[in-house]
């Protein structure tokens, strides 16, 4: 049987890297990233899709430096929002199914319970605003789409919180970490497996997908050190106000993934189990010593 073709924008990014690993066995993958062309350029996106005629397009490309987006608002909007709009428009022209990766930062974090897909969005940061506008453009431009909102991603192929904590633990006896923001740390490899299931199930609309269970960044840091057997470094809880970062983040970033569970019955690992797998794997592969 002829394999379905998937174009991945942002294929060299942290999620893109694991998407490739998970999808390459069953799909004909065509990979692209900033080196080949810029998603802000509609003619590049259109030509690339017209040349490859994929059944499915995954947009994992984004300007993901949340604090950097506050300084570079124009770039954030152009890449994250209008770039996504370009991909949606060009995908529709060739009748491809668009899978767009969004974010938990479209919410303001003021709700007491985990966020459901149809809760009102109200982003706090420029990054969140750019991702929210992207969702609007995808819904407007593409009629065959899946928007996935993941959160707190870490993986082997990118800068992320796990590497930051492990690096700091080599230099510092104390690491201060915010204890008043809550969510689910999600391994890009596990998310990629879930995206494969979403493809097989032909999901449409918006879905929240994250590891199961919730914690704060402080809990996450402590678990990283515990799993790694690092006892000489202490994690000190601080508040978001203490940290004074350029971009505001939601305090409650918890995503309710029950819609995903209902439609797929695919069990997402607990954040602790997935983190253990990740740390074991980076040690075995010598990615982190
Ligand atoms: N990381 C998280 O915690 C997190 C949480 C929730 C949602 N998400 C979303 O998940 C998706 C994947 O995130 P990620 O962590 O894998 O991001 P990433 O590692 O930063 O990967 C994004 C890729 O897009 C590329 N890119 C940037 N601007 C581009 C442009 N104008 N044209 C073409 N390619 C461009 C980047 O290239 P350069 O590296 O050269 O810029 C990079 O290779 C994004 O949509 C992100 O918003 C991420």
pLDDT tens digits for range 132-179: 999 999 999 998 999 999 999 999 999 999 999 999 999 999 999 999
CA of residue 280 to ligand 1 center, whole Å: 25
- Closest residue by Cα to atom 38, ligand 1, is 34
- Give me 8's structure tokens: 């991945």
Yes or no: say if 228 and 175 are a contact pair by the CB < 8 Å rule: no
Residue 168: exposure state from Cβ atoms within 10 A (0-12, 13-18, ≥19): middle
Residue 103: the pLDDT is 98
Average pLDDT for 214-220: 98
45 lines ligand 1 (CB under 6 A): no
Using most ligand atoms within 8 A of CB, pick from 7, 64, 68, 191 the residue to mutate for ligand 1.
64
In the residue annotation, 127 being an active-site residue is answered as yes
Which one is catalytic: 27, 127, 154, 187? Answer: 127
Q: Give 197 or 288, the one with higher predicted confidence.
A: 197
Q: What is the mean pLDDT of the chain?
A: 96
The pLDDT value recorded for residue 250 is 94
218-227 pLDDT, tens digit each: 999 999 999 9
Is 90 exceeded by the pLDDT of residue 244?
no
Question: Domains of the chain by range and CATH?
Answer: 5-160+186-213+254-269 (3.40.50.720)
Helix residue ranges, H only, the chain: 14-23, 42-52, 66-71, 73-76, 84-93, 126-141, 161-171, 188-200, 217-228, 240-243, 258-264, 271-284
Across the range 230-255, mean pLDDT stands at 94
Is the pLDDT assigned to residue 108 strictly greater than 80? yes
Percent of the chain with pLDDT over 70: 100
Query: Residue 222 and residue 156: Cα distance in Å, rounded?
Result: 20
Q: What are phi and psi of 130, to 5 degrees?
A: -70, -35
Residue to mutate (ligand 1; options 48, 62, 115; most atoms within 8 A of CB): 62
> Ligand 1: does its nearest atom lie under 6 Å from the Cβ of 8?
no
Question: Which atom of ligand 1 is closest in space to residue 17's alpha carbon?
Answer: 16
Average pLDDT over residues 221-246: 95
152 CB within 6 A, ligand 1: yes
């Amino acid at each position: 049987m002829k394999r379905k073709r998937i174009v991945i924008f942002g294929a060299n990014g942290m999620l893109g890297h694991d998407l490739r690993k998970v999808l390459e066995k069953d799909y004909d993958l065509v990979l692209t990233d900033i080196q080949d062309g810029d998603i802000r350029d509609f003619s590049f996106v259109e030509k690339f899709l017209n040349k490859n005629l994929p059944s499915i397009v995954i947009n994992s490309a984004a300007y993901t430096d949340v604090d950097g987006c506050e300084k570079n608002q124009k770039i954030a909007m152009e890449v994250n929002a209008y770039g996504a709009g370009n991909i949606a428009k060009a995908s529709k022209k060739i009748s491809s199914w668009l899978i767009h990766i969004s974010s938990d930062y479209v919410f303001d974090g003021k709700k007491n319970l985990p966020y459901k897909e149809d809760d009102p969005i109200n982003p706090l940061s420029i990054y969140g605003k750019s991702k929210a506008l992207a969702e609007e453009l995808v819904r407007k431009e593409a009629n065959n789409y899946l928007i996935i909102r993941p959160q707190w991603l870490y993986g082997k192929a990118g800068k992320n919180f796990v590497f930051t904590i492990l690096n700091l633990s080599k230099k510092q006896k104390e690491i201060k970490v915010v204890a008043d923001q809550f969510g689910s740390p999600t391994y890009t490899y596990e998310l990629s497996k879930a995206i494969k299931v979403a493809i097989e199930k032909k999901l449409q609309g918006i879905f929240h997908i994250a590891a199961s269970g919730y914690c704060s960044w402080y809990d996450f840091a402590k678990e990283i050190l515990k799993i790694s057997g690092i006892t000489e470094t202490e994690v000190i809880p601080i508040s978001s106000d203490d940290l004074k970062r350029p971009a505001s983040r939601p305090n409650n970033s918890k995503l309710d993934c029950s819609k995903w569970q209902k439609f797929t019955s695919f069990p997402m690992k607990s954040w602790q189990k997935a983190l253990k797998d990740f740390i074991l794997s980076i040690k075995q592969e010598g990615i982190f010593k």
